[in-house]
Chain A
Amino acid sequence: MKKVFLWLMVVTISTTMVVAFSLAGCKTTTTTEATTAIETTTATETTTATTAAATTEAATVDPASFKGEINLMAFNDEFDVQGAKGEPTMIEMFNKVYPNIKVNFTKVPSGEIAERLESTFSAGVGIPDVFVGEQAWVLRWITEDVWENLSAAPYNAEDLTKDQFSYVKDFVRDKEGNLRGLTFQATPGAVFYRRSIAQKALGVTAPNDVSALMTTWDDFIAMGKTIKEKTGDYLVAGPRDLQRLFFFAKKQPWVVDGKLVIEDVVLNYLDISKKIRDAGLDAGALTWSPDWTAGMNGKVFSYVLPTWGLFFVIEPNITKPAEPVKGVTYSYGDWGLASGPASYMWGGTWLGISKKSEKKDLAWEFVKFITTNKDFLKSWSELRGDFTSDKVVDAEVAATASRPSLAGQNHMQYFLDQANKLDGSGWAKRVTQYDEDIQNAFMDALGDYVDGNTTRDAAIQAFKDAVVALYPEISVQ
């Protein structure tokens, strides 16, 4: 009797341990049928009615006839976090139209998701049917050939995306020019500025007037000096905030034929940053730090952020919360969007279908809906303020858009103008998979130079050394 009992105990303990270990690796949140709880706006309701007409394929197939489950892995709040006023998530909006496709969503923080996906690829198991790629690392999925070719049948995505900005498509084309991913957003950039500071220091508040004061870098610095003199405020939170403006303006890729190319525009960034710091025009805050965020309700005049910066970064910080912090005047409604000395885009998330997926048909319905369904994109943009990848949809939303946080400015029209400018920039062809790491290494060197820890030449050398340490295959002069 005792023996049997002990045996049972041993077996139970070891089973529990094994099960616990295997469970530790796969925390999955299931999002489905939550849709019923959502108070839907009219926009979502029309989606159901018009989907059939919008997509040719769906004209013959009832979305409700697709049945099954798909696995989605992403880092994005869009899929599972409702808007500030309870606006539905993407998955909820998808399930409105496709009630019988259950989306099992696994959310992994953006810093970890690429590594996590890589490990599923090497293990060959647990690869999600649909997974995302962010601008910083999406090119890995294309080089590693893990995504389906969406230009080919049965997807034929080229037709579906003919109204989309070409730069968001070109970015995810493989060597043969085939689309490997699709996106719901385009992410042109802006300079967000404080109207009240502009009024006091510069005597203007309108976006066009402010843009006119910063068409070149010299103007930009001169403007900063005026602001410092008149109000004592800072031009920018930190010189690092400006990186996208310079990196986007490069004429060549960072790496050409295995060699690191350091262009003048990049070196100019070192000099401009140094000038800003030496003249005391920045708040000395590091991007994303608490100081940096605090500056939005404080003494910082401008922030360089793209479309998503509006509703993910600026608005959450400038809106008076239920429990306001003492001594903080929330700057909601005091902002404007202007264009800086250069155009840029920053970020974006592409969705693709795993080559190993066994439910490619269902996965495609999901990707197709999220990235190309015009009715969905339109309601999404209206509900959340996101700027979509579809020019036609954006133009429709821009016809009436007005953002209260920006004192009623039409942010959609602003971004539409910017995106049209970017479309011909050829930027997508200059991007390499090394960019994010190389740029981070550059930012470290720039920081040391601006902070006065090193000389300009030593900083450039340190940057080169860091690149070689990260990628021994890249050669530097």
Chain B
Amino acid sequence: MRKFSFKTNNYGYIFLLPFFITFLALQLYPILYTLYLSFTNLSAANPQGDFIGFGNYIKLFTDKFFLQSIGNTWRIWIFNFIPQLIFAVGLAAILTRDKIRGKSFFRGVYFLPNLVTAASVGILFNVLLGWKDGSINNILVALHIIGEDAKIHFLARPVWISSSVSAILWWMWFGHSMILFMAAMIAVPRDLYDAAAVDGANAWHSFWKITLPQIRPIMVYVLVTSLIGGLNNFDIPYVMGEGQNLGGGGPMKSILTMVMHLYNTAFTGGRQRGYGSAIAFALFIIVLIFSLIIFRVMFRGRDTENPRGV
């Protein structure tokens, strides 16, 4: 029998051990258990939980709240992500130029909303968007943009509340994305710009032809993380939901996201853990498919390119 010897080379595995133990116990096991639960009808009414095959997954296609929540989740994410990307890239381009004064101040200010907790954001925007005594309405009336009787009931109108949630997410996240883009832009070699300038390119051309292609990997990263975060969206719609029934999903369920529906199903009412698990897996599959698509589209033909030219 070979004597167990403790080679210095093996230390690495030991240092990895805490991560793997917690990963296996607190992540992999729950994931697999969720998969198992998604094939049962475990709920408060069926505490034993019988095996029902794909029953829960079939039910997903007829669950109008789930179908609506898919639309809501995408709508909220897209209307947050497009302006977020434009602002983040634009501001990053401006702030990485040497001439701008106090750029670290702006960088801090734009990032700040990201540090505010969802609960505080909820209270803040509920006050701002209040109806008969809301701040925004009072400002609009004071500026004579609308009349006293025409105050907008933001929180009760599906269009307004959905756009508000997108706007809040935009406000919270564009600073974060901006910092990532700034880091990427600073890393772009200066000689590329110098060469372009020699060839007579203006700032606009340099931006489109050099900066954007160079920061593509970071854009993919931001897009994928934002997509995953956006499809898992829960806290802001939850705290902005109408009334005391927080999980309600707002007027006409217009801000009921997929994770909120999952939460409502598994943890409120009849506590349908089995069906809730199926929603969780459906969500996982959706995120997986779209992440793969993005990778394929953004990196198509990337292997043959050699952007640095070295």
Contacts and interface: CB of A to CB of B under 8 A. Distances in A.
Contact of B21 (A14, A298, A473): A14
B244 A451 contact: no
A473 B251 contact: no
A444 B270 contact: no
Contacts of A17: 18, 22
B244 A291 contact: no
Contacts, number: 100
A287 B18 contact: no
A13 B11 CA distance: 14
B310 interface: no
B272 A453 contact: no
B130 A447 contact: no
A289 B270 contact: no
Interface stretch (B88-96, B151-159, B183-191, B218-226): B151-159
Interface string B266-300: 01111010000000000000000000000000000
A471 interface: yes
Interface stretch (B29-37, B104-112, B131-139, B170-178): B131-139
Interface in A289-346: 289-291, 294, 298
Interface in B50-72: 63-65
A290 B122 CA distance: 11
B116 interface: no
Interface residues of B, number: 43
Interface in A427-477: 437, 440-441, 443-444, 447-448, 451, 453-454, 465, 469-473
Contact of B132 (A240, A284, A287): A284
Interface in A1-59: 3, 6, 10, 13-14, 17, 21
Nearest to A438: B269
Nearest to B158: A453
Nearest to A440: B245
A384 B141 CA distance: 43
B4 interface: no
B204 interface: no
A179 to B, nearest CB: 24
Interface string B220-243: 000000000000000000000011
Given A288-B244, A470-B264, A470-B269, A447 B251 contact: yes
Contacts of A471: 45, 269-270
Nearest to B269: A470
B195 interface: no
A176 interface: no
Given A17-B18, A465-B65, 18 more contacts: A3-B6, A10-B11, A10-B15, A10-B17, A21-B26, A289-B130, A290-B123, A290-B127, A291-B132, A437-B269, A440-B244, A440-B245, A444-B242, A444-B245, A448-B251, A470-B269, A470-B270, A471-B45
Interface of B: 6, 8, 11, 14-15, 17-18, 21-22, 26, 43, 45, 63-65, 123, 126-127, 130-134, 153, 155-158, 242-245, 248-249, 251-252, 264-265, 267-270, 272
19 contacts: A6-B11, A13-B18, A240-B243, A283-B133, A285-B130, A287-B244, A291-B133, A291-B134, A443-B244, A444-B245, A447-B243, A447-B251, A448-B252, A451-B156, A469-B264, A471-B45, A472-B270, A472-B272, A473-B270
